[in-house]
Structure 1
Amino acid sequence: MEYVLSMTFVTSGGDKASFSITGVKESITEAEVSALMDTIIAKDIFITKSGSYVSKYGAQLTEKQVTKFDL
């Protein structure tokens, strides 16, 4: 199984912006996600067309299962 963490932020322009991280451990906690999002906001390392991330909006962990067929 592969796990994908999708995080959504509010930008300085008032819009929402999201990005995802693949390969996340399945046991990641809400506190760890919140701390990660706080760090991303504090470091101001991402910028979008509507500005920097200024606050958290939401996050979700998705379990992805891939079945490959040998044809």
Structure 2
Amino acid sequence: MAKTLQLQFTTTGGSTSSMTIDTPVEPVNASAVEQAMNAIIASDVFAAATGSLVAIKGASLIDREVTEIL
């Protein structure tokens, strides 16, 4: 099973921008994720087509199972 951590931010244009982290350290600590997201916003080094990241919208741990058939 492949796990990813998806971080969602609100941009200055009001849209949602996401970034995905492959194989996050588990167990995922919500407080650490929130601190990291706030640091990303404060650093202002990432921008989407709709503007800079300005607020946390959410974070999700996604667990996906892939079965190759060929």
> TM tier, shorter chain?
0.7 to 0.9
The alignment yields a C-alpha RMSD, in angstroms, of 1.5
How many residue pairs are counted as aligned between the two chains?
70
Contact conserved, 1:10 with 1:56, CA < 8 A, in 2? yes
TM-score norm. by structure 1 comes to 0.84
Report what 1:48 is aligned to. 48
- Quote the Cα distance in structure 2 between the aligned partners of 1:15 and 1:67: 34
SS in 2 for 1:31: helix
CA deviation vs aligned residue, 1:9-62 (integer Å, no higher than 9, x gap)? 000111111111102012121101101100100011111111010000011011
- Quote the Cα distance in structure 2 between the aligned partners of 1:51 and 1:6: 19
TM-score norm. by structure 2 comes to 0.85
Contact conserved, 1:3 with 1:25, CA < 8 A, in 2? no
Report what 1:25 is aligned to. 25
- Quote the Cα distance in structure 2 between the aligned partners of 1:10 and 1:2: 26
- Quote the Cα distance in structure 1 between the aligned partners of 2:27 and 2:65: 16
Identity %: 36
Contact conserved, 1:3 with 1:26, CA < 8 A, in 2? no
- Quote the Cα distance in structure 2 between the aligned partners of 1:14 and 1:68: 38
